[in-house]
Amino acid sequence: MHKTTTISTKNFFEKASKENIISTERKNILLKISETIAEEHTKNKQVNLNFICTHNSRRSQLGQVWAFYAAEYFNLNINAFSGGTEVTAFFKNTVKTLQSVGFNFQLADFSHQNPKYLISFENSKKSILGFSKLFDDAENIEPFIAITTCNNADENCPFIPTASHRFHLPFVDPKASDGTEKQHETYLKTNSQIAAEIHFIFTEIKNKLNF
């Protein structure tokens, strides 16, 4: 049955990159991240990214899913992971906003506290496993480049001894909208911003690698 309730992931990704305005200050951070990833890719022919936030339930999950998508979209050998300093759950509103833009979630392991999902998209060659976990979980392959996404001060983010590089890329937490009329709109806005910035990073990586 053809889905009419979702839009194409590809269209959302490309539209987000055009509609979101990224400030010069923010671009400077994104450029530093892309330069480091490109250098690692040239040296090792592969890069592991780990998006980290306290609860690994919203922003870090969005970062992982969009980096997973971007790696295939740009044909780059980049693995995407996520984690936190506490284990909670891949929050239902985060799942819903990703489903609304074409991602497919298949329940891999049911748990009321922390279900695991196989996440894919139309014509994807592979899937990723999505669930809340610690940043140093065995699922997160080392060495990795850590990207912290909490919107508190950089110095309040966790020390990550296993990271080859660490960048602070904060996003406003959509949690404040939970249970309100603005919930869908707020999550979609965060979803779009993260998609746009991942698009920017991966475009720069592709350009730097010249292929």
* pLDDT tens digits, 115-160: 999 999 999 989 999 999 999 999 999 999 999 999 864 555 667 8
| Res 210: pLDDT | 81
Instruction: Give me the residue spans of the domains in the chain.
Output: 34-209
User: How many other CB atoms are found less than 10 A from the CB of residue 185?
Assistant: 13
Rounded percentage of the chain residues whose pLDDT exceeds 90: 87
34-209 CATH choice from 3.40.50.2300, 3.50.50.60, 3.30.429.10, 3.30.1360.20: 3.40.50.2300
In Å, how far are 43, 52, 104 from 46, measured between CA atoms? 8, 20, 26
Mind listing the pLDDT tens digit for each residue in 176-189? 999 999 999 999 99
Contact (CB, 8 A) for 132 and 55? yes
